[in-house]
A and B are shown apart, each in its own frame.
Chain A
Amino acid sequence: MDFSIFLIQCLNALQYGLLLFLVASGLTLIFGIMGVINLAHGSFYMIGAYMAFGLAPIVQSSFGGGFFATLLVGLFLAIVLGYFLEWAFYSYLYEREHLQQVLMTYGLILVFEELRSLIIGDDVHGVSAPDFLSGSIALGDTMTYPVYRLFMSAVCILLAIGMYLVFTRTRLGMMIRAGSSNREMVQSLGVDIQFLYRVVFAAGVAIAAFAGMVAAPVSSVYPNMGSQVLIICFVVVVIGGIGSIRGALLAALLIGFVDTFGKVLLPQASGVLVYVLMALILLWKPQGLFKAG
């Protein structure tokens, strides 16, 4: 493997890992803070990707278009959707057993997939990247690397930093952290925990949908894209340690690299590598790399 190929694979691994982190961070938050096993999280990623595809022409005609306008509209819709879903479905699940949550969110997956099929159909669609990001930059003598992928990585890093700042530096972040360690105590100190949960959930949905929208030009949009990403994201969450954002970041990058280089170096075994990694890590550290915090 010469150096420029190695560099390209590194960039790919980084970009894949960061994207996984975005989706998994919402999952780990909802899981760690609200105690809900949300199987439908992959669907939010799928919904995001389909919004990038479906909203673009609508935004084009009403606001004059633009990739970023689509992103903003999609993000807004995702927040509204998350807020509504928490109110309508998830708020009933907190007191229930985990298995009841699994059952309901499984039902939601089926509903979202069929609604997607009814509204947009079952075809695979491509989504075009904005013009100014569609070029490539040269790496070495013959290799090039698409600018859009670099843009994706940059956006993911910015979002990760933003999340870190919100978590550690703001009052909201403090309340969220407190809520995850002791729900009753925070409530008795006068924090509206129900509203807090709704905000966390809406944020989780929005981040997953945002990841889907940003990924759409690279991955294209296709049926069942949500359930594919879901399982990998659960792997990320568990390796990282449930509820830990830091752990999710590390685990996502680890999986990004293992998967990308596995496909290059051991193509026969690429699918299984991620799961071998997870099994090894959990046998070594049964609580994941980082405990929540």
Chain B
Amino acid sequence: MPSKPSAAFVFVLAFFATLALYPLVGGKFGVDLVTKIMIYAIFALSLELLVGGTGLVCFGQAAFFGIGAYATVLLSPSSDPAGLALWVFAILAASIYAFVVGALSLRTSGVYFIMVTLAFAQMAYYVVHDTPLGGGTDGIYLYIKPVFGPFDLDQPNTLYFVTLLSLIAVFVFLARLSVSRFGRALAGIRVNEQRMRATGFSTYPYKLAAFTISGGLAGLAGFLFAVKDGFVNPEMLSWHLSGAVLIMIILGGIGHLRGALIGAFAFALLQELFKSEAIFGAFAKHWHLGLGLSIIASVALLPRGLVGVPAQLQERLWGRSSRRAQSLGDTDVSH
């Protein structure tokens, strides 16, 4: 850690502080929306560990999210509210599936890896979609929300803060992980796996561990989502969601943990913006158009994602020399 806090560190701190204060001003709708976005942010962070941290592009992340959510509903007792055990089981279920998928799919690499993870996600999708276990296309309801000690997750504000705490915990965990020996090894694998092997690292167990942790974190997001909506359906495992979460982290900027945060918020807020009938009137029905055009514009104008915007602005204003200082500042918090 540098003696003077970097801009990125201050940004993340301010970001979480804003979220902590938000329920004071946000109404019922706002709190619900931001809870949802924070859950997506946890989900995006789980994928960032793989894509940005390890260089593994997983296109089946929704499976772990969905399995966490389905485990939450299926393992809920039907009379009393569930406790912390449910939380553990949801994460465990997702991690176990991630372990199995990772163990098999890490034999492949590159685009083939992308497609094998998709294949395993589609298998999970069809299992909940086509078998009685998952309630088919209609999904299943979670009637009794879990209670964690004094925290009743049925209360929107309680759920909001539990989600925020989970988000902060996941963020700090991943930030610490990235500077640990394990995280450094993952970064080495991302940059040059051959060389890592040549220096004596057996890369496979590292990748598998990262994959399993990532699946567990996605399961945590799934747990929160199931509790928030009180409802799960097969679409939570669909490749559309896997694609959307991948889009979030690319939009935010790969290789930075805060990119996942920014990406999740930007993606969800852009959606809300273009869906807003107050601004676009009848055209709000066609919100995909605005979202699609903004995504295309962001690829054209922001090659480093939203995270790279300050650096890009600085280059514009003060020339190239300041870029180095900025990128050095960046590396401290989130490699």
> Which residues of A does B touch, CB under 8 Å?
31, 37, 39, 89, 92, 96, 98-100, 102-104, 106-111, 113-115, 117-118, 227, 231, 234-235, 238, 242, 268-269, 271-272, 275-276, 278-279, 282-283, 286-288
Contacts and interface: CB of A to CB of B under 8 A. Distances in A.
B210 interface: no
Given A110-B291, A279-B119, A231 B239 contact: yes
Given A238-B115, A272-B123, 8 more contacts: A39-B243, A96-B299, A103-B250, A269-B130, A271-B130, A275-B123, A282-B119, A283-B104
Nearest to B295: A107
Nearest to B246: A102
Which applies to chain A's interface (DSSP): helix, strand, loop or mixed? helix
A106 B286 contact: no
B75 interface: no
B37 interface: no
Contact of A104 (B51, B125, B127, B299): B299
A104 to B, nearest CB: 4
Nearest to A95: B303
A18 to B, nearest CB: 22
B303 A96 contact: yes
A235 B289 contact: no
19 contacts: A99-B57, A99-B250, A99-B254, A100-B303, A103-B250, A104-B299, A107-B294, A114-B292, A118-B289, A231-B122, A231-B239, A234-B115, A235-B119, A275-B118, A275-B119, A278-B115, A278-B116, A278-B119, A288-B112
Contact of B111 (A37, A106, A115, A276): A37
A227 B112 CA distance: 19
B251 interface: yes
B321 interface: no
B126 interface: yes
Interface in B102-122: 104-105, 107-109, 111-112, 115-116, 118-120, 122
A104 B296 contact: yes
B289 A114 contact: yes
Nearest to B239: A231
B131 interface: yes
Contacts of B21: none
Contact of B115 (A89, A118, A235, A272): A235
Contacts, number: 122
The 5 A-B residue pairs with the shortest CB-CB distance, nearest first, are: A110-B292, A107-B295, A114-B289, A272-B126, A111-B292
A99 B251 CA distance: 10
Nearest to A115: B289
Contact of B108 (A31, A39, A286): A286
Nearest to A112: B292
B126 A271 contact: yes
B8 interface: no
A279 B130 contact: no
Interface string B228-240: 0000000000011
A163 B106 CA distance: 35
B116 A268 contact: no
B119 A111 contact: no
Contacts of A118: 286, 289
Contacts of B292: 106-111, 114
B286 A114 contact: yes
Contacts of A103: 247, 250-251, 295, 298-299
B300 interface: yes
Nearest to B51: A99
Contacts of A109: 292
Contacts of B176: none
B312 to A, nearest CB: 15
A42 to B, nearest CB: 12
Contacts of A287: 112
A288 B246 CA distance: 24
B195 interface: no
Given A110-B291, A283-B104, A231 B118 contact: yes
Nearest to B299: A104
Given A268-B130, A278-B116, A279-B120, A108 B108 contact: no
Contacts of A98: 57, 111
Given A278-B116, A283-B104, A102 B250 contact: yes
Interface in B29-73: 51, 57
Contact of B293 (A96, A102, A107, A117): A107
A106 B247 contact: yes
A41 B115 CA distance: 16
Contacts of A271: 122, 125-126, 129-130
A50 to B, nearest CB: 16
Interface in B288-312: 288-289, 291-296, 298-300, 303
A126 B250 CA distance: 38
Contacts of A102: 246-247, 250
B299 A282 contact: no
B299 A100 contact: yes
Contact of A282 (B112, B127, B296): B112
- Most B CB atoms within 10 A — which of A89, A96, A269, A275? A275
Nearest to A284: B107
B247 A272 contact: no
B134 to A, nearest CB: 13
A271 to B, nearest CB: 4
Contacts of B293: 107, 111
Contacts of B107: 283, 286
Contacts of B288: 110-111, 113-114, 117
B133 to A, nearest CB: 12
Contacts of B116: 278-279, 282-283
Contacts of A117: 286, 288
